[in-house]
Amino acid sequence: MLRVIGSVWALLLGMFLLMVGNGLQGSLIGIRGAIEEFSTTELAVITSAYFAGFLFGSRMAPAMIRRVGHVRVFAALGSFISAVLILYPTITLPWAWILMRVIIGFSFSGVYVTAESWLNNASPNESRGKALSLYLIVQMSGIVSGQALLNVADPAGFELFVLPSVLVSFAFVPILLAATPTPAFAATKAMNLAQLYRVSPTGIVGMFLLGLIFSAQFGMAPIYGTEVGFTVSQIALFVSAIFVGGMVLQYPFGWLSDRMDRRVLIFAAAAGGSIGGSIGFLWGGTFGMALVAGFVLGGVSNPLYALLLAYTNDYLEPDDMASASGGLIFVNGLGAIVGPIIVGWAMSTVGPNGFWLFMAAVMIVLTAYVAFRMARRTSVYASDDASGTVSYAPVLPTATPVAVEAAQEIYAENTEAEAEAEEDEDSPGPA
């Protein structure tokens, strides 16, 4: 592990600062929007705009990098991020914030693609799984740390918008000065959504539903906290609980994923999420219960992303795993765009508790759908084949195609290695 840290520490430090800045501005937008008296619907569209930009940027960034190179893309998108973060408090109009959120989402996704490609290139094959795990820890730690910074200044002022701008600017220093070669982007074979659905209906449907959940958690949780009367400190702790839950439970889910039928684990996680949403709906107005509900919901929704990836891979040939990632990310992104808008409508209709009602409803739908698919299809898992091969790679729903393809490659390599080991065992020994 220390060797892995030594080879990519500059990249990880830069990504940590990026995530601190992004986590801070993500929560700050909801709090400041409420101060500016934006409606819940307007804040929902502003939240959704980030994910629209993120999805578009994830698809465009590789082409941009191939055309002008990593350094120029980094510098250009970094400048956009820093500029927009400072512009937020100077143009407090909903339409302007929507446009700026699209730009921020696009720019962050491009920056992540660049950084993740460097990380992937700097990590040898045998340590790529550890590098991805470290990357996950750094991402979540950065987001949680960003929440703590909400308390250093008044959200009604401009200081909290300047702070993430400075952090993002500093983040580029270790990344751009890292002594690692820039990687080349290779085109992968495309797999359309119809093909993916035929391979794994649960993977496609689950990814869409999870996109609804994650975007609502990431963008609408601060708005919910504001509407129920939580203080800024309480909102910071509430958002942190969601991501801490994901960080704490990611690895237990990963350990179980390689030792049991993944569909049972996905069913259990979705059922747990529906319980968490129900707790929030019934008692979420109490701060302590909101923390419990947020921890449970975040604890299952973040690992579900990697679980659904691994489950879909169970039905793919190794050569198709990387190409399938684009379709899964696209479906997840569509859900992420729609999620905040539906939550905003629910909160406008039934009040702040519409946030939890939406979460519980989506998780119940996912639970029911997985149960339906379990009755329709035989699992590929067999307990006597469990050889301890690690095929689960921790990835967040905010990951770009680069990180997801790296996780897919880890799975493919382990699948091929396991197949070769089984062939060696079955082959007759010397006479």
Q: Which domains does the chain have, with CATH numbers?
A: 2-180+190-379+388-415 (1.20.1250.20)
Structure confidence at residue 389 as a pLDDT band (50, 70, 90): very low
Amino acid symbol at 85: L
Residue among 411, 412, 390 nearest 255 (CA):
390
Q: What is the mean pLDDT of the chain?
A: 82
Structure confidence at residue 423 as a pLDDT band (50, 70, 90): low
Report the C-alpha gap between 301 and 272 in whole angstroms: 9
Structure confidence at residue 285 as a pLDDT band (50, 70, 90): confident
Residue 203 per-residue DSSP state: H
Intra-chain end-to-end CA distance of the chain, in Å = 43
Residue among 233, 218, 234 nearest 302 (CA):
218
Least confident piece of the model among 36-45, 169-178, 239-248: 169-178
Amino acid symbol at 40: T
* Contact present, 70 and 118 (Cβ < 8 Å): yes
Report the C-alpha gap between 242 and 297 in whole angstroms: 7
* Contact present, 120 and 69 (Cβ < 8 Å): no
Structure confidence at residue 210 as a pLDDT band (50, 70, 90): very high
Report the C-alpha gap between 160 and 164 in whole angstroms: 7
28 has pLDDT over 90: yes
Residue 398 per-residue DSSP state: T
Report the C-alpha gap between 31 and 229 in whole angstroms: 11
Amino acid symbol at 372: F
Report the C-alpha gap between 146 and 285 in whole angstroms: 24
Provide the token pair at 408.
Answer: 């897919």
Rank 130-139, 299-308, 385-394 by mean pLDDT and report only the highest.
299-308
Report the C-alpha gap between 232 and 31 in whole angstroms: 8
382 has pLDDT over 50: no
What local confidence, expressed as pLDDT, does residue 335 receive?
92
What local confidence, expressed as pLDDT, does residue 184 receive?
57
Provide the token pair at 361.
Answer: 């409803």
Name every residue whose Cβ is closer than 8 Å to that of residue 122 and which is 6 or more positions away in sequence: 7, 8, 11, 131, 178, 180
Residue among 142, 114, 148 nearest 21 (CA):
142
Provide the token pair at 362.
Answer: 């989506």
In terms of pLDDT, which residue wins out, 291 or 3? 291
What local confidence, expressed as pLDDT, does residue 387 receive?
43
Average pLDDT over residues 81-85: 91
Give the CA radius of gyration of the chain: 21
* Contact present, 339 and 248 (Cβ < 8 Å): no
**Phi/psi-derived region of residue 396, left when phi > 0, alpha when psi is between -120 and 50, beta in every other case:** beta
Residue among 331, 310, 328, 326 nearest 412 (CA):
310
Report the C-alpha gap between 223 and 15 in whole angstroms: 26
pTM for the full model? 0.84
What local confidence, expressed as pLDDT, does residue 256 receive?
84
Structure confidence at residue 181 as a pLDDT band (50, 70, 90): low
Neighbours of 65 (CB within 10 A): 22
